[in-house]
Structure 1
């Protein structure tokens, strides 16, 4: 979804365009995998809301639990690093390019990395994931940005033009990069919380 093209006499700045990714599949799928296989509990990731019914998902026996967890953490890092190369204003330094641990290397700048591109649906109940994913979309308001316009404008002026919404429980806001703000669905659903997130991250 993209917000722009204001109506005449609207307070919305004529050149302000805000993208809202309210269904980032490459991230929600990874959150589903983590929930289904009960792993990576040491990471500071908020509880999910709604909690998915993982159906018949079960960690595959083709590798041990520690291997799957390592693969998942690598995929999680790459999924977030993709936003660096998706950002045309991001220019890696020579030191960054030499860094062998740079999770963004080898990623397609147009298409985010998907867990299933490498591991397919092994050990996952595809229908259960799709049912959970469908349950997320109707809960996202379509007027959140106009409602919080007073706080959105300075956030946009500070560089934010993309809001990424995840099904986290409670208040959550994190400025991932100059352009990207990550919020929970609960935050975007509540005008005062969304305004707070925009205000506190307009740095």
Structure 2
């Protein structure tokens, strides 16, 4: 929400703009790969399991894949993708992308700047089975079926006081992942990562927003 001038009686600051991204493909793909292939990557700060557990890849298929290499690579790809999720795109990025010729090195560079690191780019497509497409589609349909809440029932409205304070500290982006429990992280100077459950609970969301400052 954003307006040029203050709106009388509206508690939302007229110049506060918050972006909520609950469909970041690079993060969803990494989470699917980890669980569908039953990888156990090492790391001290990895996200919890998905709420909607993917169907596991068949054991025979898994035995023939380089899962040990994938397991070793997973953590650093996640960290790179998460770091990119916490960045703010240049205001003129889309304009420069549209102006760049198709197939040119400049267009490829701008696309990577927009999309950021991903499993497909760094490791390849071999891990993605038909099950990945089905799981992604199911997530999309679940979000589409979700009854739209009225303006005053939006999570950001229900935790508005904490959101305003976080915005004053620089918050512009909330990234949501469909994982269980709580996993709140400040992922950049202007972004925070939360789980779907945290954002859906006003008390937990308020607590999460308060860690930003």
Structure showing the higher helix proportion among its residues: 2
| Aligned residues of 2:83 and 2:188 also touching (Cα < 8 A) | no
What is the CA-CA distance between 1:46 and the residue it aligns to? 1.1
RMSD across aligned positions (CA)? 3.0
Q: Highest Rg: 1 or 2?
A: 2
- Compared with structure 1, are the counterparts of its residues 22 and 8 closer, same or farther at alpha carbon in structure 2 (3 Å cutoff)? farther
Paired with 1:64 and 1:121, the residues of 2 have a C-alpha distance of 10
What is the CA-CA distance between 1:134 and the residue it aligns to? 2.2
Q: Does 1:158 align with 2:169?
A: yes
Please report the TM-score for the alignment, with normalisation by the length of structure 2: 0.72
Query: 1:1-203 alignment to 2 at 5 Å?
Result: 3-5=1-3, 8-43=8-43, 44-54=46-56, 58-59=61-62, 61=64, 64-83=66-85, 86=88, 108-117=112-121, 119-120=124-125, 122-124=127-129, 125-134=131-140, 136-137=142-143, 138=145, 143-201=154-212, 203=213
Question: Deviations along 1:9-38, whole A, 9 cap, x unmatched?
Answer: 311111100000011111011000000111
Larger displacement relative to structure 2 (132-141 or 27-36):
132-141
Paired with 1:59 and 1:141, the residues of 2 have a C-alpha distance of 40
Paired with 2:193 and 2:159, the residues of 1 have a C-alpha distance of 16
| Aligned residues of 1:40 and 1:69 also touching (Cα < 8 A) | yes
Paired with 2:137 and 2:163, the residues of 1 have a C-alpha distance of 32
Gaps of 5+ in 1: 89-105
Determine helix, strand or coil for the equivalent of 1:176.
strand
What is the CA-CA distance between 1:80 and the residue it aligns to? 1.8
Please report the TM-score for the alignment, with normalisation by the length of structure 1: 0.75
- Compared with structure 1, are the counterparts of its residues 153 and 114 closer, same or farther at alpha carbon in structure 2 (3 Å cutoff)? same
Determine helix, strand or coil for the equivalent of 1:183.
strand
| Aligned residues of 1:22 and 1:140 also touching (Cα < 8 A) | no
| Aligned residues of 2:87 and 2:191 also touching (Cα < 8 A) | no
Determine helix, strand or coil for the equivalent of 2:140.
helix
What is the CA-CA distance between 1:173 and the residue it aligns to? 1.2
The aligned counterpart of 1:96 is: none
Report how many residues are paired: 183
| Aligned residues of 2:86 and 2:192 also touching (Cα < 8 A) | no
What is the CA-CA distance between 1:86 and the residue it aligns to? 4.2
What is the CA-CA distance between 1:113 and the residue it aligns to? 2.7
